[in-house]
Structure 1
Amino acid sequence: MMGDGVKQILAKPIQLADLVTKQAGDAHTCRQECIELKAKTEKLAALLRQAARAELYERPAHRIMLDTELVLQKALGLASKCRAHGLMRRVFTIIPTTAFAKMSTQLDNSIADVSWLLRVSIAGADDDQLHGLPPIAQNEPILFLIWDHIATLHTGSLDARSDSAAALASLARDNLHYAKLIIEEDGVWPLLRLVKEGRVDGQENAARALGLLGRDEESIDRMLHTGVCTALTNLLKDGGPMRAQAAAAWAVAQLATNHPACQDLFAQNNVIRVLVGHLAFETVQEHSKYSIIPTSKAMSIHSVVLATTTKKPNSDDDRSSSSQFPHHPNARSQIHSVIQSTMASAKFSKLTAAAANGAVPPSKPHLSSGFGTKGRDSEDPATKAEMKAMAAKALWQLAKNSLAICKSITESRALLCFAVLLEKGSGEVRYNSVMALMEIARVAENSPDLRRSAFKPTAPAAKAVLDQLLRIVDKGVFDELLIPSITALGCLSRTFRATETRVIGPLVRLLDEREAIVSRESVLALTKFACKDNFLRVEHSKAIIEAGGAKHLVQLVYLGEQVQIEALILLCHIALNVPDSEELAEAGVPAVLAWASKQGHMVQDLQVDSLLPEAKGRMELYQSRASR
């Protein structure tokens, strides 16, 4: 806490204090006042020498010593006037009556300032009490309050440090300026130390404070240099109290939200596997190489299903082959029984997903590095739910626009976990799960490799995710899950085969939704099915028409103020794909395209300008042929 710079600035105040003491002792005038001046200066000098031997908190030490030096220089000037020799010099040396009173107050303030500095800097001093604010803090009380708490983080007991971390978190939450001050005054490093050394309350408060400090990129850049990513990841992986780990996951999410540079650093610290481990705990029975694989009865069911499931290839990407039956008596009858019972259950896809995606054989139990489950069973349900919610939130924020992280997430059992949590979870964990899926889908939209690897239609985990997204969209309830589910399905439009008939209908029905935001998002999703980038755009366009989408889109173009342009763009794509459709003609699409071409605010849109003339022309051409 104390560097050579502090020791250097202490030298001059000590020298000045000694000079004041000597000058005041040799005073010829105002002897009584000089005696008091000498006494207070000697007390201040003793404190300064004590400070020179202590490990001082450097940030306030600089300011206090500079202020003390100015006070001692004034005191030296006053004491020098009292040493004047000769009658004439004494007569013409005028000392105001208030000068000694003012100097006495200033020395008292300096004594209080240095005493405060010693108290906050010395380990164990008034450990369980606030040190109060020194006189120098009158103009900036918040700054000195921050110094007080940071000093406690350095020297206090674990309980006192926990309280100070909570106080700093509260200050950072209330005001961005306070958050910046905490970082500037070197408050990050002692918080990181508390994350490592503290008890559950201290770790939780410190992690939450770190998340609140990272409010902008500049602040986070300074935090990254202190090793905040490593500290939070270590807390998540050390098998400690779940409440503290939930706070750490929340902090990861906050930092990743406010600065994309955190994503790669957290990934380098293997935080993805740790978060997936938390997400998978008690969510799926076998949650991958990132966690301990149980060798229970459920494990044998998975392995039996894996060993006996034979797929018939139905595409170039599906090259599954049959496996050997287990070599034990009555294996075939046992396998038949297991398959029959699991297929009869609605949970069949979840039971087989882990095995179908590379579960470790029971003969080779796998222990992951970086995630422990010790003591987690005893945690209360609310804490477990909070941990899952925060793990999902962190994965959501880390996945944004990051292909590498999305690949890491989808190569784990995270997709299966998200599907289970969407079905069985509630509240924040469901919302964070669907938002994570939406971000992964957004990245997959522009990455053919990720689409093929993560959302292959025959992959059980991908199928489970799509089933849950479709269930939400098909239900059509306007809640916090609906919009991200619609967005995700639209982003994944190129993963659906022409034979997949479940997706278009629910999206088309939402075009008639009273909430404009739902209609707009549905239009955008359907546009991705019908646009030029989609190889199956003709088939999808026909499906949209068959589901009754044309009449809804015509109404939106005419009347949907907030979705007019988007609806017109989708209509143009459909008209280009199936210009000879009788249903389009019956719905009045040629008329609405002709009307739109005369609307100035519509044709100004670049996409409309590039699509509308061709769509209008092709509709007129094919419909005129059909009418002959």
Structure 2
Amino acid sequence: MAASTATAATTAALEREKTLQDELALPILLTDRVIKSAGEAESSRSECADIARQADELSQKLRAAVRLTSSPSTSSIYDRPIRRIAADVSKNLEKALTLVRKCKHTGLLRHVFLTITSSAADFKRVSNLLQSSIGDFVWLLSIYNDDEGGANLSIPPIVNNDPIIAWVWSSIASLQTNRQLKDRIESANYLASLASDNERFRKVIVEEGAVSPLLRLLKDGGGSPDGQIAAATALFWLVDDRERTRIVAAEGGIPIMVQVFGESCMSVQVAVAELVAKVAQYNPATREEFGRENVLKPLISCLILDMDMEDYKQFHGVQKELAAKNHPKYNNYVLNHGHSMSNNTSYHKVYSSASFDVRGGSNYNKRERENESPEIKLKLKIKSALALWRLCKGSMLNSQKVAEPKGLFCLAKIIETERGELQYNCLMTIMEVAEVAEDNAELRKAAWKPSSPPAKAVLDQLLRVIKEESNPDFQVPAIKAIGCLARIFPAKETGIVGSLVGQLGNKDFGAATEAAVALAKFACPDNHNCVAHSKTIIEFNGVPPLMKLLSINDRARRNGLVLLCYLSMHVGNSKELAEARALRTLESAVRSGMAQNAELRDIFSRAVHHLMLYQDGSHPHSHTFAVV
């Protein structure tokens, strides 16, 4: 199998070289014909001689290019500029050949005809075209010359009106064929600079084939972290749309990123984690592939670096003890040794199901990691958490992995002890995992039982953030996460509902609205404990701030009315709803066209019906009303 694959690759490479040399063979043939026809000219001999001289010079450049492409040391030569320039040169030589052939025939009438049709302007125009072709090949040969060093920022005539293409060609050629690492790094940095400038530059860079050599540099780096960082940075600027991330994935970029992240030093890991996050952000299809390549484990390992994970260790020890008790050899061992497995270190080594290894990889030892600066360690954690956030969005596979005990304990600890961007990224990760769990009962049951220590650690921190944090940017993901997990909480968990009720009056309208959305998931009829949760919302005095929320903006009004409908459906006899004139509010909303779609019409109708059943005539809004 391996032999056949290697043979196929070799055959493909030979065919590619042959095709490139064939493209150069045509203009070489044309130069020979131009020189021969110019030598046979019987009119305009001086002009034809000048054309022949240029054709000869061009022939020498073309043959030099052939030698370059056939050299074993340039088997992976970057061929796009060669093909483009060779095609243009062929067109110019065909024009020259047509012109000099007109000068071959004799006779007075022919001479007069040629004098009229082949003016000095024609020869000048063709001569200028050939001179441009010579300039193109002089430039072309220079970009493959190791002695030049780095990218050649001069501009060949062929792209005089669009110099960006020349700069991209030169940089990619240097990346792909230059043996000097410093030149490859310089070229990658230059491509990153171009890519960061505007959308068109990014498009040109990818179209001209930069992705493959950048991935090769990322993989090996020439033995230098600087090379890998330069490649990762260039790729980072390129992958800002779905199509370009698809190209990176198609070129085998995802396993390369995962491998490099797992084996490299921290400074490289920072750049690669940021790249992984961006690829996952712009192309949802890549998230599952990253998960299958097992990028989650090293990302979480980077997060727990220098972290006290005693809670996880204790939990893991208990789990191993329980697992050991169910093992066939457990009872025999206790009988023979007189104590439980928790006291047997060797048994734990054999049957341990989880690793607590936080090393970055085989090429980067533990001491080097410990000696890294606090700044680079923090940056790595921030970017690793960012990557987890992007990878978990909408991904069942990745959310399952993050929701394992180590991941949950880790995220809970960071949310508890850290502040700023790192804490925010971890909150967003939890929010994305919770959103996936909202639609997956199996994940909720496996990872989010409130009695489970890992889940409880996270839930406690989410509630703390909701209560104590003053920045709505941090409160909102915590509120959303709790709302997504609404179905896991029993009726007796009144404190959680109470915390959300407290946010209905948040000065930030966005946070207050999200609290209404979250509470609606507690009070929704799909929630088994909806009646109990609705009573709790009323008991925690949630109706007054809810009624105020209805006057803020359209989004707040819509979500607030949905929550009000659920409360009316489940606790329609509440005096708090009567005093707040909930029925009149819902009637007014219906008249204004708020309940236009079928789903909203149904819940508004049911809510109004329940409220009307419990109004006793003493209220000024106790008239008959029907939702239509």
Q: What TM-score comes out, normalization by structure 2 length?
A: 0.83
- Counterpart in 2 of 1:434? 427
- Counterpart in 1 of 2:233? 208
Distance in 2 between residues matched to 1:170 and 1:360, nearest whole Å: 55
The correspondence for 1:42, drawn from 32, 51, 56, is 56
User: Does residue 13 of structure 1 match 2:5?
Assistant: no
Deviation of residue 133 (structure 1)?
A: 1.7
Q: Tell me, what secondary structure is at the counterpart of 1:624?
A: coil
Unaligned runs of 5+ in 2: 1-12, 70-76, 323-333, 620-628
Instruction: Note if contact 1:410-1:454 (Cα within 8 Å) is conserved in structure 2.
Output: yes
- Counterpart in 1 of 2:73? none
The correspondence for 2:163, drawn from 141, 163, 174, is 141
The correspondence for 2:135, drawn from 98, 112, 123, is 112
Unaligned runs of 5+ in 1: 289-298, 310-323, 336-358
Distance in 2 between residues matched to 1:283 and 1:589, nearest whole Å: 51
Aligned pairs for 1:106-505 (under 5 A) are 106-122=129-145, 124-156=146-178, 157-198=180-221, 199-238=224-263, 240-285=264-309, 361=348, 366=355, 371-372=360-361, 374=365, 375-411=368-404, 413-505=406-498
Please identify, of 90-99 and 150-159, the stretch whose mean Cα deviation from structure 2 is larger.
90-99
Q: Tell me, what secondary structure is at the counterpart of 1:535?
A: coil
Deviation of residue 129 (structure 1)?
A: 4.9
Distance in 2 between residues matched to 1:448 and 1:254, nearest whole Å: 29
Distance in 2 between residues matched to 1:96 and 1:617, nearest whole Å: 96
Change (3 A) 1:370 1:81: farther
Distance in 1 between residues matched to 2:460 and 2:379, nearest whole Å: 25
**AA partner of residue 249 (structure 1):** A
Change (3 A) 1:158 1:426: farther
Change (3 A) 1:586 1:24: same
Instruction: Note if contact 1:401-1:443 (Cα within 8 Å) is conserved in structure 2.
Output: yes
- Counterpart in 2 of 1:79? 100
Q: Tell me, what secondary structure is at the counterpart of 2:399?
A: helix
Instruction: Note if contact 1:211-1:250 (Cα within 8 Å) is conserved in structure 2.
Output: yes
Deviation of residue 237 (structure 1)?
A: 0.7
Distance in 1 between residues matched to 2:283 and 2:320, nearest whole Å: 45
Q: Tell me, what secondary structure is at the counterpart of 2:403?
A: helix
Change (3 A) 1:593 1:18: closer
Deviation of residue 369 (structure 1)?
A: 11
Distance in 2 between residues matched to 1:308 and 1:206, nearest whole Å: 47
The correspondence for 1:514, drawn from 507, 514, 522, is 507
Deviation of residue 589 (structure 1)?
A: 2.7
Change (3 A) 1:174 1:360: farther
The correspondence for 1:531, drawn from 513, 521, 524, is 524
User: Does residue 583 of structure 1 match 2:583?
Assistant: no
**AA partner of residue 182 (structure 2):** D
Instruction: Note if contact 2:261-2:269 (Cα within 8 Å) is conserved in structure 1.
Output: yes
Q: Tell me, what secondary structure is at the counterpart of 1:98?
A: helix
**AA partner of residue 153 (structure 1):** L
Q: Tell me, what secondary structure is at the counterpart of 1:108?
A: helix
Distance in 2 between residues matched to 1:116 and 1:268, nearest whole Å: 45
Give CA deviations for 1:5-41 in whole Å, capped at 9, x if unaligned. 2211211211111122223334444444333322222
Instruction: Note if contact 1:60-1:147 (Cα within 8 Å) is conserved in structure 2.
Output: yes
The correspondence for 1:97, drawn from 120, 123, 134, is 120
The correspondence for 1:573, drawn from 566, 576, 591, is 566
Instruction: Note if contact 1:303-1:362 (Cα within 8 Å) is conserved in structure 2.
Output: no
- Counterpart in 1 of 2:3? none
Distance in 2 between residues matched to 1:272 and 1:328, nearest whole Å: 40
Q: Please, what is the CA RMSD of the aligned residues?
A: 3.1
Change (3 A) 1:452 1:553: same
**AA partner of residue 485 (structure 2):** L
Deviation of residue 487 (structure 1)?
A: 0.6
User: Does residue 609 of structure 1 match 2:612?
Assistant: no
Give CA deviations for 1:20-71 in whole Å, capped at 9, x if unaligned. 2223334444444333322222111011111112225321222211111111
Deviation of residue 183 (structure 1)?
A: 2.4
Distance in 2 between residues matched to 1:14 and 1:88, nearest whole Å: 34
Please identify, of 476-485 and 518-527, the stretch whose mean Cα deviation from structure 2 is larger.
476-485
Change (3 A) 1:588 1:19: same
Q: Tell me, what secondary structure is at the counterpart of 1:5?
A: helix
Instruction: Note if contact 1:472-1:482 (Cα within 8 Å) is conserved in structure 2.
Output: yes
Distance in 2 between residues matched to 1:306 and 1:272, nearest whole Å: 22
Distance in 1 between residues matched to 2:250 and 2:507, nearest whole Å: 50
Deviation of residue 125 (structure 1)?
A: 4.1
Distance in 2 between residues matched to 1:121 and 1:32, nearest whole Å: 36
Q: Work out the percentage of aligned pairs sharing the same amino acid.
A: 36
Deviation of residue 148 (structure 1)?
A: 1.3
Please identify, of 174-183 and 185-194, the stretch whose mean Cα deviation from structure 2 is larger.
174-183
Instruction: Note if contact 1:278-1:391 (Cα within 8 Å) is conserved in structure 2.
Output: yes
Distance in 1 between residues matched to 2:208 and 2:317, nearest whole Å: 60
Q: Tell me, what secondary structure is at the counterpart of 1:481?
A: helix
**AA partner of residue 394 (structure 1):** A
Distance in 1 between residues matched to 2:153 and 2:609, nearest whole Å: 81
- Counterpart in 2 of 1:341? none
Distance in 2 between residues matched to 1:400 and 1:418, nearest whole Å: 16
Instruction: Note if contact 1:569-1:607 (Cα within 8 Å) is conserved in structure 2.
Output: no
Distance in 2 between residues matched to 1:303 and 1:181, nearest whole Å: 52
User: Does residue 563 of structure 1 match 2:556?
Assistant: yes
Deviation of residue 556 (structure 1)?
A: 2.7
Please identify, of 420-429 and 193-202, the stretch whose mean Cα deviation from structure 2 is larger.
420-429
Instruction: Note if contact 1:565-1:608 (Cα within 8 Å) is conserved in structure 2.
Output: no
Instruction: Note if contact 1:284-1:417 (Cα within 8 Å) is conserved in structure 2.
Output: no
Distance in 2 between residues matched to 1:606 and 1:84, nearest whole Å: 87
Instruction: Note if contact 1:511-1:519 (Cα within 8 Å) is conserved in structure 2.
Output: yes
**AA partner of residue 606 (structure 2):** E
Please identify, of 73-82 and 5-14, the stretch whose mean Cα deviation from structure 2 is larger.
73-82
Distance in 1 between residues matched to 2:405 and 2:202, nearest whole Å: 36
**AA partner of residue 230 (structure 1):** P
Q: What TM-score comes out, normalization by structure 1 length?
A: 0.83
User: Does residue 540 of structure 1 match 2:554?
Assistant: no
Instruction: Note if contact 2:33-2:97 (Cα within 8 Å) is conserved in structure 1.
Output: yes
Deviation of residue 243 (structure 1)?
A: 1.8
Change (3 A) 1:85 1:164: same
Q: Tell me, what secondary structure is at the counterpart of 1:67?
A: helix
State how many pairs are aligned. 570
**AA partner of residue 53 (structure 2):** A
**AA partner of residue 58 (structure 1):** D
Change (3 A) 1:248 1:558: closer
Please identify, of 9-18 and 611-620, the stretch whose mean Cα deviation from structure 2 is larger.
611-620
Give CA deviations for 1:531-576 in whole Å, capped at 9, x if unaligned. 1111121221122112110112223335654412211111111122
**AA partner of residue 255 (structure 1):** V
Instruction: Note if contact 1:287-1:413 (Cα within 8 Å) is conserved in structure 2.
Output: no
**AA partner of residue 620 (structure 1):** M
Distance in 2 between residues matched to 1:274 and 1:592, nearest whole Å: 53
Instruction: Note if contact 2:320-2:348 (Cα within 8 Å) is conserved in structure 1.
Output: no
Q: Tell me, what secondary structure is at the counterpart of 2:494?
A: coil
Please identify, of 551-560 and 52-61, the stretch whose mean Cα deviation from structure 2 is larger.
551-560
Distance in 2 between residues matched to 1:90 and 1:614, nearest whole Å: 100
